[in-house]
Amino acid sequence: MTTMRALVYDRYGPPEQVLRLEQMPRPQPGPGEVLVRVHAASVNSWDWDRLVGRPLGRIDAPFRPPFRILGADIAGIVEAIGPDVTTLAIGDAVFGDLTAGKWGGFADYVCAPARTLALKPETLSFQHAAALPQAGLLAHEALKLRPGLGAGQRVLVVGAGGGAGLFAVQMARATGAAVTGVDRGLKGPAVLAHGADHFIDHQRDDFSRSGARYDFVIDMVGSQTVFGYRRALAEGGTLALVGGSLGRILQVVALGNLVGRARQQRMGLAIYQPKTADLDHLAALATAGVITPVIDSVFPLEQGAAALRRIGGGDHVGKIIVEMTA
């Protein structure tokens, strides 16, 4: 078969209005690329931002989407290899993050840079492997901003019930630190079940005004101004901002360390570039049981609009999966 199904869009807007399933030619791998038959792809908040055209999602393409097919996190089988690829072979089961390429994961096939893929552990299903890359790498990068994290330190994870948040809870807990999760109340049981010692329902309580102080705050959603973070951080504390509005990100970059200077607080962004070595590290953590991908729901490709709507609603717990069943 030289064609494939793909979930495409040509303008920004709600999933039900702009997404459609289309038959198109199967791509061919170029230098440094492999062709992957996608078994599963996971949905990220960045997909939603790119879909509806939020400012941060369209910063590089203000008027129309820069590519037609969303989906960055994939797991599948290598079907063909382009020139100069030496690390992978036809038939390898792989997983990875396509944000360094042209995305395209919501399709039966996608061409991906080999450097952004890693071998899938046999013990992980394609669904669980697809849930790992972006969320796991963001959590991993966030924890790098607090070297020496361990017993006796207090960690707050905001947005703890999402994909990256649950990975951050598990990784922080593995260091021996005491972990508090913040999210919508309905996500509390899952956050506690995956390692948090305490849970705060952000719809009822504002953690920045509770009087509690944390050595490390990991915020997936940009929930506070720099002054709110200053209130929540202990002296010498660290903020790792993973996501949020463009305005909130710029505020933390421009003012965070200045506002926190008197109390020796540091505020920074968790930024990563997907690469094989970091994906291998995530796979090792998963196979060792340090982290467990949490699957919220699974949608077939033809119901991709519903999968995007699910993440846009914000009630998901863990990762949403799009599965290719044809």
pLDDT the model gives residue 234: 98
Q: What is the DSSP letter of 114?
A: G
CA nearest 118: which of 7, 276, 265, 229? 276
Are 3-133+275-323 and 146-269 equal in CATH topology? Answer: no
- Kindly list the domain boundaries of the chain, sorted by start residue: 3-133+275-323, 146-269
pLDDT the model gives residue 253: 95
CATH superfamily for 3-133+275-323 is: Medium-chain alcohol dehydrogenases, catalytic domain (3.90.180.10)
CA nearest 6: which of 309, 324, 297? 324
How many angstroms separate the first and last alpha carbons of the chain?
12
pLDDT the model gives residue 1: 58
Rounded (10°) angle between helices 133-144 and 163-174: 40
pLDDT the model gives residue 326: 58
CA 17, CA 8: separation in Å to the nearest integer?
Answer: 11
Q: For the segment 124-166, what is each residue's pLDDT rounded down to a tens digit?
A: 999 999 999 999 999 999 999 999 999 999 999 999 999 999 9
CA 87, CA 112: separation in Å to the nearest integer?
Answer: 13
At the topology level of CATH, where does 146-269 sit?
Rossmann fold (3.40.50)
pTM: 0.95
Q: For the segment 220-255, what is each residue's pLDDT rounded down to a tens digit?
A: 999 999 999 999 999 999 999 999 988 999 999 999
Q: Copy the structure tokens of residue 4.
A: 């494939």
| Ordered alpha helix ranges (H), 107-245 | 126-130, 133-144, 163-174, 188-193, 226-232
pLDDT the model gives residue 273: 84
pLDDT the model gives residue 100: 86
pLDDT the model gives residue 292: 97
pLDDT the model gives residue 141: 96
**Segments in the chain below pLDDT 70:** 1, 326
Phi, psi of 153, deg, nearest 5: -105, 150
Is 146 strand, coil or helix? coil
